[in-house]
Structure 1
Amino acid sequence: MRSLGLDGVPREEPLLYPGAWPRESGLLDGDRLLPLDRLTYEDRVPVLAIGSNASPGQLRHKMAEFGVDAPLPMVRARVTGVDIGVSAHVSRMGYLSASPVSAPGTVRELFVLWLDAEQLAVIDASEGVPMAGGNFDRAWLPAPDVRVEPAEGTVLRGAYAYVNRHGVLRGGDGAPRRHPGDQRVLIGELLRGSARLRRLFGTTPEDFCARARADRRLCERGTRLFAEEDRVTASGLERHVRSGDRTGGAAPLPRTQPPPTAPMP
């Protein structure tokens, strides 16, 4: 991955978020990204990667933390009906993460992760799904609401995505703000727009990241501030959060448990 520039880990360097994404589909196997021989997997669960879950370096870091080393298929797909917004919470990792938002007619190139039960448990835990105070729920996004095409002529029955429990940040028009894909730009804009946020997190993106990584309560205060300053709106995907354990033709969804000592995102 290093030779491809894909080994960066946003959890260790938050200004890298969302990390480098591959150009093509591949099989993540340790520190290698290998060619794939197929684009769908009946024995695995499809999960849309909206932010750093599409970064091989971040994925490897998450899996290695719990000793999970099975190969992980990453399939580039054409996705219609979803865009990438900004989570309305400050992550303990020091960045502002991406969240899916409903966007009928919008077409994006995203990655589908085909996860086995153990891998799904790790990703669920990293997003806080099993935790009462976690930041995300895993939601099934069915076709035709969301159209996922891993190859021409192939459409999945749906895919899972992680929907933020706090909502997403809104833009000046009241609609969900699009994540710029550059953490430094995003944090800089938010700091310039709020004196209260600067008092909490400092005046630069470096200050913001350093303070957030050092203080869980400060992150919680920043999250509340977004709501207090009326910066938050719904993602439009909340209705899908508890739509049932369907997997769009994959194997029945495994009942996952968080790995031991799962970190709070």
Structure 2
Amino acid sequence: MDHDADRTLRALGLAEAPREHPLLYPGAWPAGSGLLDGDRFLPLDRTWYADRTPVLAIGSNACPGQLRHKMLEFGIMSPIPMVRARVTGVDAGVSAHVSRMGYVSASPVSAPDTVRELFVLWLDDEQLAVIDASEGAPVPGGNFDRAWLPAPDVRIGLADGTRLPGAYAYVNRHGVLHDGTGKPRTHPGQREILTELLIGLPRLRELFGVVPEEFCERARADRRLCERGTRLFIEEKLVTASGLERYVAASAHDGSHGTGASPQPLT
């Protein structure tokens, strides 16, 4: 078997982009670290990059097919290191907004006692600008702010025995959905969250239909409908803070982060 063909995203089951298939959100994640190089996912020879910016992937940014889709939209073909990490202090909550991509996305939430296996993307300046744009970070009406999550509040351990001093993550400007007690709920996958929301919210069914397939079809690229869905979450009193908002304010006043500072040994 051809070595390159064996490492294609299609062969590895990593090619589908949730932007094109919303019910697949957050998309397929790799089994381990690798280098996204065009249509291939190649082995890595190291886990951190001092000349790049570490970004913690909470949802579909950990899906190679989604990353490729975002980069190709801007004609970017440069490789992206994706490093699997053991992360303490953050979990994947449910965004309190309806995306024009046709899904309800994941957003990071503060979870001090939670340990998750997530991916750190090491992005150069050009790649970072693309991801920023895709999350709406540079514009006032965007859905996310990029915030630096520092250690030890968030602990990011790599497989080679090092710990990062922090990483960026995209914090939702709308807040996140709670679990009924006021605590942020975790994202169970797209079909599951849409089914639950449509069953529980008659007004949401009026807007988006009765099954997840209808929701995705109606939401895709309909900005006004998505805005109505987002307002409905507020009106139904389903929205709470992520617990990470303080880092947004801190990042706005601190320009020292943005490159891959040297990691520290795990202790």
Contact map agreement 1:140 1:246 (CA 8 A) in 2: no
With over 3 angstroms needed to count, the CA separation of the structure-2 counterparts of 1:65 and 1:167, relative to structure 1, is same
1:26-83 CA-partner distances (Å, limit 9, x unpaired)? 0000000000000000000000000000000000000011011111000000000000
In the alignment, what sits opposite 1:254?
Answer: none
Task: Name stretches of at least 5 consecutive residues in structure 2 with no aligned partner.
Answer: 1-8, 262-267
Following superposition, the deviation at residue 157 of structure 1 comes to: 0.5
Q: TM-score, normalised by structure 2?
A: 0.92
Amino acid at match of 1:247: H
The residue type equivalent to 1:32 in the other structure is R
Does structure 1 conserve the Cα–Cα contact (< 8 Å) formed by 2:53 and 2:259? no
2:89 maps to which of 81, 86, 89: 81
**Corresponding position: 1:112 with 2:120:** yes
Match of 1:53 among 55, 61, 80: 61
Whether the 8 Å CA contact 2:85–2:119 is kept in 1: the answer is yes
**Is residue 86–residue 179 contact of structure 1 (8 Å, CA) maintained in 2?**
yes
- Cα distance in 2, alignment partners of residues 202 and 175 from structure 1: 27
Report how many aligned residue pairs link the two structures. Answer: 250
Which one of the candidate residues 158, 183, 204 is aligned to 2:211? 204
Distance in 1 between the 2:242 and 2:259 partners?
Answer: 26
Aligned-pair identity (%): 75
Q: Is the 8 A contact 1:46 1:247 kept in 2?
A: no
* TM-score, normalisation: structure 1: 0.92
1:41 aligns with 2:63: no
Amino acid at match of 1:245: G
- Once the 2 structures are TM-superposed, how far is the Cα of residue 214 of structure 1 from its aligned partner? 4.1
Cα distance in 2 for partners of 1:240, 1:226 equals 24
The Cα RMSD (Å) is 1.1
Work out the CA distance in 2 between the residues paired with 1:140 and 1:75.
Answer: 18
Tell me the amino acid that sits aligned with residue 30 of structure 2: P
Is it true that 1:122 corresponds to 2:130 in the alignment?
yes
The answer for the alignment partner of 2:5 in structure 1 is: none
Q: Name the aligned partner's letter for residue 107 of structure 1.
A: V
Structure 1 residue 113 displacement after superposition: 0.1
Q: Find the residue that maps to 1:42 and give its secondary structure.
A: coil
The structural deviation recorded for 1:242 is: 2.8
Equivalent in 139, 161, 170 of residue 162 of structure 1 = 170
Q: Which runs of 5+ in 1 are unaligned?
A: 252-265
User: Residue 257 of structure 1 corresponds to which residue in structure 2?
Assistant: none
